[in-house]
């Protein structure tokens, strides 16, 4: 799966990653309270342009606003369901009770998930391990996975304040898998060896973010697909496609160098 990355991954990049091996992609985070206002620029962020399999990611707490958004939502080809963001570390979001703050709120999360399911849409979760080291030691992530009835859980194996320089705690995937839920591993995944190890731990899949920015062919390479094009031609193809779509982040994406990856904030 291609990870959501706000203001970096646009619809054209999602299409390209799908074409060359990613099974599933995600839109960048947005509050459903904002979507409920029918705000044009917010709706652009969740616009799907083709049949690339895509989960629409959102966050929020207001149940009436979630229903209001869903009342007006019309799925288009490519739409595969909704993803709740329970991982964003940003101060603003955390202060208003969303993102990583929600990891310790399984009852509230289950209510939101049920609302989406009542409308007949698939729903899954993307989360970190907790807000703090203590929450992580208290295993709030495990309680959430156990209590919430979502299709799958993408687990970024770091807690909120951990930067990308701290290695993710992959060993927690074993207990996440032991809950019997579908677990997708996320955080620093780059190679066949990584994927094999995570598969041995029982993970159902992997999500890749930053590595895909500099190598969108990584999905096809990890699947050993034959006859992949050169990176240069893939980026040219992306630029051509991005030019045909309303919202694209190609300028920002091309400014990122491999050595910048550990310093990206997300
Ligand atoms: C610039 C940037 C923006 C991000 N935006 C989002 C986002 O909108 N939603 C989300 O769930 N995660 C977001 N993330 C987190 C990634 O989806 C992913 O969980 C994280 O980068 C770890 O995976 P990786 O090591 O493969 O990059 C962002 C990360 C970065 C670096």
Tokens of 50: 């083709």
Which residue, 20, 73, 65, 85, is CA-closest to 47? Answer: 73
Q: Which residues of 191-208 are buried (b: 16+ CB within 10 A; e: fewer)?
A: eeebbeebeebebebbbb
Residue 102 lies in a domain: yes
pLDDT of residue 138: 97
Q: Which atom of ligand 1 is nearest to the CA of 168?
A: 25
pLDDT tier at 111 (50, 70, 90 boundaries)?
A: very high
Residue 215 lies in a domain: yes
Q: Is the pLDDT of residue 248 over 90?
A: no
Average pLDDT, the chain: 96
What is the percent of the chain where pLDDT is above 90? 92
pLDDT tier at 246 (50, 70, 90 boundaries)?
A: confident
pLDDT of residue 251: 86
What domain range includes position 158? 11-263
- Distance CA(129)–CA(216), nearest Å, equals 27
- Distance CA(227)–CA(18), nearest Å, equals 15
CA dihedral 247, 14, 30, 256 (to 10 degrees): -80
Is the pTM higher than 0.85? yes
pLDDT, tens digit, 9 for 90 and up, residues 25-78? 999 999 999 999 998 889 999 999 999 999 999 999 999 999 999 999 999 999
Protein residues with CB under 6 Å of any ligand 1 atom: 3-6, 8, 28-29, 57, 85, 87, 126, 156, 186-189, 208-211, 264, 266
Distance 266 CA to ligand 1 centre (A): 5
Q: Is the pLDDT of residue 162 over 80?
A: yes
Residue 188 lies in a domain: yes
Residue 1 lies in a domain: no
CA distances from residue 50 to 103, 114, 249 in whole angstroms, order as listed: 32, 28, 18
Residue 4 lies in a domain: no
| Alpha carbon nearest to ligand 1 atom 18, residue | 209
Mean local confidence (pLDDT), 129-150 = 97
* Selected residue with higher pLDDT from 190 and 253: 190
Give the number of domains in the chain: 1
Burial class of 136 by CB neighbour count within 10 A (0 to 12, 13 to 18, 19+):
buried
CATH of the domain at 108: 3.20.20.70
Q: Is the pLDDT of residue 266 over 80?
A: no
Tokens of 51: 């049949």
Residue 5 lies in a domain: no
Mean local confidence (pLDDT), 232-257 = 91
Q: Which residues contact 131 (CB under 8 A, 6 or more apart)?
A: 94, 100, 101, 103, 104, 159, 160, 161
pLDDT tier at 115 (50, 70, 90 boundaries)?
A: very high
Residue 105 lies in a domain: yes
């Amino acid at each position: 799966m291609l990870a959501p990355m706000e203001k970096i991954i646009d619809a054209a990049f999602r299409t390209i990653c799908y074409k060359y091996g990613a099974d599933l992609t995600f839109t960048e985070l947005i509050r459903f309270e904002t979507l409920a206002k029918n705000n044009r620029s917010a709706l652009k962020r969740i616009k799907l342009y083709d049949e690339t399999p895509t989960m629409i990611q959102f966050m929020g707490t207001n149940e009436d606003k979630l229903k209001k958004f869903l009342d007006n939502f019309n799925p288009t080809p490519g739409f595969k369901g909704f993803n709740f963001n329970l991982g964003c570390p940003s101060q603003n979001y955390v202060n208003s009770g969303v993102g990583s703050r929600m990891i310790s709120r399984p009852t509230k999360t289950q209510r939101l998930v049920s609302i989406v399911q009542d409308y007949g849409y698939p729903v899954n979760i993307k989360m970190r391990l907790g807000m703090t080291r203590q929450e992580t030691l208290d295993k709030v992530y495990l309680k959430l996975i156990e209590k919430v009835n979502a299709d799958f859980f993408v687990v970024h194996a770091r807690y909120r304040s951990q930067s990308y320089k701290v290695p993710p705690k992959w060993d927690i995937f074993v207990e996440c898998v032991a809950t019997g839920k579908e677990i997708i591993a996320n955080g620093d995944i780059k190679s066949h060896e990584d994927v094999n190890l995570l598969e041995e731990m029982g993970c159902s899949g992997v999500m890749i973010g930053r590595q895909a920015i500099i190598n969108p062919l990584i999905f096809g390479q990890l699947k050993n697909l034959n006859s992949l094009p050169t990176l240069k031609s893939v980026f040219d193809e992306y630029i051509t496609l991005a030019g045909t779509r309303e919202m694209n982040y190609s300028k920002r994406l091309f400014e990122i160098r491999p050595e910048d990856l550990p310093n990206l904030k997300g």
